[in-house]
Copies of this chain bind each other. A is one copy, B any other.
C-alpha cells in the first residue's frame, strides 16, 4: 500500500487520471486537485444539509478475485472500464444534479477532447428528463473555474463534428459560463450558481 505524505492511501485511478494528477500537482502550489476540491465541497454541502452530491466510483471490470482465509478478498486482475455517465450526481432541493469536472492548461480555449461522446449523450438524456446538467471547467493557468450549463456546451460539441473546431474559446466560456470564486469553505461553491440559475 502506497501512502501520501499526509498518510492518505494512494489510489491510482485510470492512467489518464493519473497523468492529470501529476500535471495538477505541478500547476498548483495548493497541492489540491480539482477533484479533491470538489470532494471537499460536496462534503461541506452534505454536512451542512445543503445538497447530497457524490462522485461515482471508478468503474472497474473485475476478472479475478482471491478469497484468502481469514482476510479480505483481494482483486488480482481487473481493468478500467469507460464510464457510461458523468462523474458526479446528486440532489439539491429535490432536483437532480449531474455534472462533469475538467481542467485544462490551455490559456485561450477549453479543448473538447476532455469530454467523451457518451458523457455528452448522458447529459442530453438528463436535460431531456428535466435534470440539471452542467460542467465545471477549470483553466489552471488563470486559476479560474467556470460553471457552464450542459445546454451551452452541446452546440460546441455539434459544431466540432461539423467544422472541426475542437475547443471552446475562453471568451465564450467567460460569456456563457459563470465564474465560481475559489473559497475557503466550501472551496468550489457551485451550488450558489445552481441556486441562482434554477431556483
A residues with CB within 8 A of B: 1-2, 9, 11-15, 46, 49, 51-52, 54, 56-63, 65, 67, 72-81, 83-85, 89-98, 122, 125-126, 128-131
- A60 touches which of B9, B49, B75, B126 (Cβ 8 Å): B75
- A129 touches which of B52, B62, B72, B77 (Cβ 8 Å): B52
- A63 touches which of B1, B54, B80, B130 (Cβ 8 Å): B1
Q: List 20 A-B contacts (CB under 8 A).
A: A9-B61, A12-B65, A13-B62, A15-B67, A15-B73, A46-B125, A52-B122, A52-B129, A54-B84, A56-B56, A56-B57, A57-B60, A57-B83, A60-B62, A72-B79, A73-B79, A74-B79, A75-B80, A91-B96, A96-B96
* A68 CB to nearest chain B CB (Å): 11
**Given contact pairs A129-B91, A131-B52, A60 touches B63 in the complex (Cβ within 8 A):** no
- A85 touches which of B54, B72, B122 (Cβ 8 Å): B54
Copy tally for this chain in the complex stands at 2
Please give, as numbers and ranges, the residues of chain B lying within 8 Å of A11 by CB-CB distance: 61-63
- A131 touches which of B46, B67, B75, B91 (Cβ 8 Å): B91
